[in-house]
Structure 1
Amino acid sequence: MDHILIVDDDPNIRSLLRDYLCDMGYETSTAENGAQMDRIIKTSQVDLIVLDLMLDGEDGLDITRELRRDDSVPIIILSARGGLLDRILGLEMGADDYLPKPFDPRELVAKIKVVLRRARALPDTRRAEPAAFVSFAGWRLDTRMKQMLSPDGVIVSLGGSDFRTLRALLDHPNRPLSREFLLDQVFGKERTPLDRSIDVCISRLRQHLKDAARRAALIRTVRNEGYMLVADVAYES
């Protein structure tokens, strides 16, 4: 049974979502702030977090960023602020999806199913088997921990969507991949071609990988074709 953690400072929303998700077959916990969320994460296995962006006295974006430093648990952000900028900021902080308030609980369940399905398609960070590594241009990606080791020995943790984007690029090195292909690989078919989420992921990865003083950009934009990772790739078991 999947364990969903609801983080929202509104007791009515916590109660409504807890009851609905329990009826849908999920194990459900609730927290009203970041401190309660941290305690639950440390004491139990959480498969997905539903996080309100506007907690009382706390910023959900900051919580998302802090989570992404140490954990790859999928995150769906809820917010009454449904503007494009807020959606982009949520994705930039490492969220896997975004749902504006008010919403139908059935839509949230649909998103939960999609995000969990994507997460299971990737290597499980909790398994005990040896991690697989992918090396490229001096970087080394740990596919189990969803972390990169830079040429200078700096560890960079990746959010779920950034990790999936990088894996897609690494699986097709030196070959342009269309935005539509990447959207399908990273976010699934519920996204539309006009969605800019993949561009946000590419921008974030470029920030991690850029080293203009020593080499050209590793992720290049190919006009009318998409994005391409320019590097030789080697896999290690």
Structure 2
Amino acid sequence: MSDIIRVLVVDDHLEIRTLLAEYLHKHGMRVETADGGESMRQQLSRASFDVIVLDLMMPGEDGLTLCRNIREKSAIPVIMLTAMGEEADRIIGIEMGADDYITKPFSARELLARIKALVKRSKSMPYQGEANQESKQFSFLNWQLNPIKRELVSDQNTIPLSSAEFRLLTVFLENPKHVLSRDQLTEMTKGHTAGVFDRSIDNQISRLRKKIEIDPKTPEILKTVWGGGYIFTEDVVKI
């Protein structure tokens, strides 16, 4: 397997695409670019990528819409590019499935470091040695967690999980029927986005509920324990 990191940069500004592509390529990465949603989908249909760098503010389909579309089909890590003062949009971006964000103006060096850290974390989650890999295979209700593809699989459906969602769900499946506080979840997931916003854990819980609950507004699987945190209520089987 190649160690070259494959990056897709999606931004409607040619100057930014060119600058980032040249800089990342100079540092050993394989880079493709897209100027919007249509060209992004074409790139994704032709090749696989380790990370997508996605601009938030684009004409037509914006970054939030594209991030949601990506998450419906894939667990590819996404770094969102946002402008200063767009905290609400950054929160929504995390809710839509973005794994990290970086605010403009930013240095290419910082983006390079973020990409390397995110890809390393993403690739290390499913592959942590044979014993750990086996220990992370779980089933509950009619769902089975696939740790290789980071997917939830049932007889009727396959749901991709973002890196943050996968980490969080794995923590719950390893600790079923135990109340876990926000601080515990933040520490146990150890993801960058876990500390981005005060309510980031709540946002990730909300995303998971939309994927596994019959009615996310009245959850029965991931319940809130007022003053305590959250609890995964179902029986879990290690496969």
Would you call these one fold, judging by a TM-score over 0.5? Answer: yes
- Cα RMSD of the aligned pairs, angstroms, is 2.7
Task: Quote the residue 1:32 is aligned against.
Answer: 35
Q: How does 1:147-166 map to 2 (within 5 A)?
A: 147-149=151-153, 153-166=156-169
> For residues 193 and 18 of structure 1, what CA distance do their matches in structure 2 show?
27
After superposition, the C-alpha distances for 1:107-129 in whole angstroms (9 at most, x for unaligned) are 222221221122112226xxxx9
> For residues 16 and 73 of structure 1, what CA distance do their matches in structure 2 show?
23
The verdict on how the C-alpha distance between 1:208 and 1:46 changes in structure 2, with shifts beyond 3 A counting, is closer
User: What's the TM-score once normalised by structure 1's chain length?
Assistant: 0.83
How many correspondences in the alignment? 228
* Identical positions, percent: 39
Task: Quote the residue 1:66 is aligned against.
Answer: 69
User: What's the TM-score once normalised by structure 2's chain length?
Assistant: 0.83
The yes-or-no answer on 1:146 pairing with 2:186 is: no
Note if contact 2:100-2:192 (Cα within 8 Å) is conserved in structure 1: no
Task: Quote the residue 2:5 is aligned against.
Answer: 2
Task: Quote the residue 1:198 is aligned against.
Answer: 201
What's the secondary structure of 2:148's corresponding residue?
Answer: coil
The verdict on how the C-alpha distance between 1:184 and 1:19 changes in structure 2, with shifts beyond 3 A counting, is farther
CA shift for structure 1 position 61: 1.1
What's the secondary structure of 1:54's corresponding residue?
Answer: coil
More helix by share: 2
> For residues 138 and 82 of structure 2, what CA distance do their matches in structure 1 show?
36
> For residues 104 and 11 of structure 2, what CA distance do their matches in structure 1 show?
12
Task: Quote the residue 2:97 is aligned against.
Answer: 94
> For residues 145 and 60 of structure 1, what CA distance do their matches in structure 2 show?
24
> For residues 49 and 76 of structure 2, what CA distance do their matches in structure 1 show?
7
Structure 2 residue runs without a partner (length 5+): 128-132
> For residues 67 and 145 of structure 2, what CA distance do their matches in structure 1 show?
22
CA shift for structure 1 position 217: 1.9
Q: 1:169 aligns with which of 153, 168, 172?
A: 172
Structure 1 residue runs without a partner (length 5+): none
Q: 2:53 aligns with which of 50, 53, 74?
A: 50
Task: Quote the residue 1:179 is aligned against.
Answer: 182
The verdict on how the C-alpha distance between 1:18 and 1:165 changes in structure 2, with shifts beyond 3 A counting, is same
The yes-or-no answer on 1:137 pairing with 2:154 is: no
After superposition, the C-alpha distances for 1:56-112 in whole angstroms (9 at most, x for unaligned) are 322111111111111111100112264221011111111111112111222222221
CA shift for structure 1 position 2: 0.5
